[in-house]
Amino acid sequence: MSAIEGRATARTYGNWRKPRTRGVGGLGMFPTMFGFAGAVMVIIVATNKGLVAGVITAAVFAGVLAAVAVKDKHGESGMIRIMNRAGWLFARNRGAHLYRSGPLGFAEWGTAQLPGLAAGSRLTEWKDSYGRPFALIEVPSTNDFTVVLGAEPDGSALVDQEQVDIWVAEWGSWLEALADEPGLVAASVTLETAPDTGTRLASEVLGRIDDRGSDFSKSVLRKIVATYPAGAATIKAYVAITFAGATRTGAARRSPEEVGRELAYRLPGLTSGLSSTGAGAARPLTAQDLCEVVRIAYDPAAAILIDQANSAGQATELYWPEVGPTAHQAAWDSYRHDSALSVSWMMSQAPRGNVGESILSRLLAPHRHIARKRVTMLYRPIDPARAAAIVEADKRDAEFLVGSTKNPTGRSRKDVIAAFANESEESGGAGLVNFGMVVTATVQDPATIEDARAAVDSLSAQARIRLRVVHGSQDSAFAAGLPLGLVLPRHLAIPHDIRDQL
């Protein structure tokens, strides 16, 4: 047998779908219903008020229908763009895009609390059944509780392909198992790359230099400490798991004490399941660890100070009301916070076709034009009891969209095939998960922000995903990319089911 014949076939992954509702001529349910209502209204007006009034009414309905039906390459309609722009102008006129905290700010008690979606969050600390302390974030506005796990991914370098395939399969199983966790609302995985401050290396090496050693060896070690951090990067991974504060719809809200006691017994199972996915030794973050992560995210200049304190064995003693920025200013397409400037993107289209497991490797890797980069995958597992009905409805809608047009496109036909494949896999026991992605690029020199934008555009193209800048909500997108467990659909003024129809 030749080497080529003995090589295992590389696995590919795909068939990601964004369900669409049925309508006429490729339109969704809402535009179709609006079009029928407009036709009826035009007939009534033309009959009672005359032809001119009917034509004017038809023009108004046609304009609104076009704003809803015509979408750009990101799948965003003109109506959504108008609503986003109007919301942004309203927020700017009220000054909601500005934030000042601290003794001279407007935050309660002169603290530097988190802004925006996380403003009302609270942090407590508990211990799991293994005796490990873990932080518990409470968001009272949505009655959600989040625990954050720190992971140390092994990476695929010098790893057999068979082992990589096993890791991917185990990751899929872990996501599928989340749907069976009582009260689980969402999960997110954040991979952050940042410049290495070199503080840990200096503390480790300089503290071990023997004064009796030769001058040459000591000079070599000091030179290594001085030069090695240049261009080096740190890679950190976090997994945030969010649970509902109520056990069921209509149930009473639970206190942090009740949720903390329950999660203390469930955390060991969640962390042990991650170890088989290639995530390394997962551990829950303590309250102090989480405070440091959030503090550095909003003020990257504090990273070296925190590293120096940790290397010296000194406690940073950060508290949750003090980890937010002292000032921020959200713009239409950027976000200024303390010592840095950030831009956030969201995924508008998953990779088309089948891809390998390393499709996101370049997007996740450190980049020389981006000082700090966070790539956050957002997951919302679907209850198995609802999954069957969802894939069945998706299949019927895909068939209807093909049958309602005289010449269906190749993409429509592929949608039908994908919908049938999803139904087959779900009936075979596969889980169903809604997912998205938020990418945040942070620079400390505002003059380099355009280089960071170009870098992310290039990396997204290589990953075969489509990203769009989050216009008018940069501060919210920045918070969503942090390991805080914020579930964005639960913070929307317009329910996402209705928003998707627009």
pLDDT of residue 500: 63
Mean pLDDT of 309-329: 88
Is residue 404 scored above 90 in pLDDT?
no
The count of other CB atoms within 10 Å of the CB of residue 53 is 14
What H or E segment, with its residue span, contains residue 290?
A: helix 287-298
Is residue 440 scored above 60 in pLDDT?
yes
Instruction: Break the chain into its structural domains and give their ranges.
Output: 200-227
Burial 161-177 (b: 16+ CB within 10 A, else e): eeebeebbebbeebbbe
Mean pLDDT of 21-40: 72
The count of other CB atoms within 10 Å of the CB of residue 269 is 11
Q: How far apart are CA 18 and CA 396, in angstroms?
A: 14
Backbone angles phi, psi at 252, to 5 degrees: -70, 150
Q: Confidence class of residue 6 from pLDDT cuts 50, 70 and 90?
A: very low
Instruction: Please give the mean pLDDT across all residues of the chain.
Output: 86
Which residues are bridge partners to 442 per DSSP? 342, 372
Q: Which of 139-153, 254-268, 405-419, 477-491 has the lowest mean pLDDT?
A: 405-419
Backbone angles phi, psi at 223, to 5 degrees: -70, -40
pLDDT, one tens digit per residue, over 372-395 is 999 999 999 988 888 888 888 888
